[in-house]
Amino acid sequence: MELGLLAVPKEVLRKCFNRKITIEPSGQRKYVYDMERLKGRGITYVEVGRYPAEKYSIYMDPALKEYLPSIVKGVPNEGAVFDGEKGKMLPQDADVRVGRKYYILKKAGMKNLQKQRNIEIVPVMDIGKKWQIYEVMATRYSEEAAQFFMEFQCQLTERPVKLKVIWPLYKKEPYIIKHNKTDTVIFAQGNHVKVRAYPEFKLDNHAIIDSKKFIVDVKNSFRNQVIFAGRSSILKYMYLWKEALNDTSKWPQVMVKDIRGHVLVPGIYSRLPSKGWICITCPVDGFFVHRHKNQIVEKRDLYAGERCDLKDIQYEDCISIFQGLDKIYEISFGEQNSDTENDETLILRKLSGMRGQKILISPVFGTMVTKLTPYPGLRRWVIQQIRQGYIYEKALRLLKHFLYQQNHTMGE
């Protein structure tokens, strides 16, 4: 069993004379931790024993009592419900959903498991001689299923409580939402739910969409703010942290390959990929749009870390990959002509006519000269650019694409 402790500002920690935090589960031995164990941001989880307890008493320096409770409710004898994915104990009056897995930790076990309607119950393991863990899932919404969860002080619902920041832009870290504005606008949803804050201050209802959805304007008068939503207890919360956001996000990396494993960089190709087949892998969720002659033929979701195969690629196809509203990758296949882009004379004609933004020559161009040995005309042109100290950006992009196509034959 673990207990989560909120972050405490460093200036408060420096004022503490007692540098120990002692946690005593009811009827069990004490657990003592150095104050330095607390994380400066987010939530610190500490071990509090193998067996459940009905309550946990926390002894600490008086300066910390504004941030940490003296008593935390534990697992009652009649049982508690835990989230099946995160393993966290659900608070009293929490929402549970149909088709989602939960665990129930209960003393003395459950009887008549096979007689429960619309509820799947599977014994998982025993903890000592008194406690049992069960895997539980409601298969459909019904009065019997709702009554079952009511015995554990949870509500079976089709619309669970939600909290979401809709303004300003923010950076999300584990257990923390960082922002740099004085106002935060939050969307809230749930049956009879109320939104509150700690430290307390007035919340303005920006707009009420209906009886179960509304928008709240939060005036961030504190650097650290906890926003929570619930009915009789806290069901959802978010930890807001106000500070300057100087980080620069990296451009999402998308990997597109042909069936032979050759990487396909963004651009226009005069040959189709081997077998007319490409494979897409993204680090985060997104989607792609497949067009043929500027007409959309397919739009499909992409899931983080999962390979997506796209077959039957044809000439005049264009595949665009999006993450959010940003187009981060595009590849297209034009008709193959007798006068192809691989023709050295055609490439030289295009290079000579290119203008635009200039790029300073770097040592990497020495490698490019070596690779262009089979193409004396292009090699002389690149040496000329090295002597004048710059190259046009469009020309550099065309040269890189030309060299890539020479190294990777994508035809049958």
Tell me the three state secondary structure of residue 412.
Answer: coil
- 86 in Cβ contact with 71 (< 8 Å): no
- Measuring CA to CA, which residue among 152, 136, 28 is closest to residue 78? 152
Whole-number Å distance between alpha carbons of 37 and 46: 9
pLDDT at position 59, please? 93
* Those residues with Cβ within 8 angstroms of residue 256's Cβ, 6 or more apart along the chain or in another chain: 263, 264, 278, 279, 280, 281, 321, 329, 331
Each residue's pLDDT expressed in tens, for the chain with a length of 412 residues: 888 887 787 888 888 888 899 999 988 899 999 888 877 667 788 888 888 888 999 999 988 888 888 998 888 888 889 988 888 888 887 888 888 899 998 887 777 666 677 888 888 888 877 888 889 988 888 888 888 888 888 888 777 777 878 778 777 776 677 877 777 788 777 766 677 776 666 666 655 656 567 777 777 656 667 776 766 666 677 777 777 777 665 666 789 999 888 889 888 888 888 888 999 998 888 899 999 888 888 899 998 888 899 988 988 899 999 987 788 899 998 764 444 444 677 788 788 778 788 888 776 677 777 777 777 778 888 888 887 888 888 888 888 877 777 665 444 4
CA dist., res. 392 & res. 272, Å (int): 28
The CB density around residue 281, as the number of other CB atoms within 10 Å, is 16
State how far the Cα of 159 lies from the Cα of 13, in Å rounded to an integer.
40
389: left (phi over 0), alpha (psi -120 to 50) or beta: left
Query: Would strands 102-107 and 119-127 be described as parallel, antiparallel, or unpaired?
Result: unpaired
pLDDT at 406: 67
- CA-nearest of 218, 189, 194, 197 to 206 is 218
DSSP string of 290-355? EEETTEEEEEEEE-TT--EEE----TTEEEEEEETTEEEEEEEEPPP-SS-TT-HHHHHHHHHT--
SS3 400: helix
Residue 360: other Cβ atoms inside 10 A: 7
The DSSP result for 108-145, as a single string, is S--S-GGG-TTEEEEEEEEETTTEEEEEEEESS--HHH
* Nearest C-alpha neighbor of 329 from the set 294, 364, 283, 297: 283
First to last CA, the chain: 59
Distance, in Å, from the CA atom of 310 to the CA atom of 317, rounded to the nearest integer, reads 12
Residues 156 and 98 sit within 8 Å (Cβ to Cβ):
yes
Tokens of 377: 């005309």
User: According to the model, what pLDDT value does residue 222 have?
Assistant: 62
For the full predicted model, state whether its pTM sits above 0.85: no
Specify the pLDDT at position 228: 66
CB-CB neighbours of 171 under 10 Å = 14
Neighbouring C-beta atoms of residue 327, cutoff 10 Å: 12
Q: Quickly tell me which residue has 């420096």 as its tokens.
A: 14
Give me 44's structure tokens: 């610190």
pLDDT at position 364, please?
66
* pLDDT value of position 366: 73
To 10 degrees, the CA torsion angle through 263, 267, 270, 271? 20
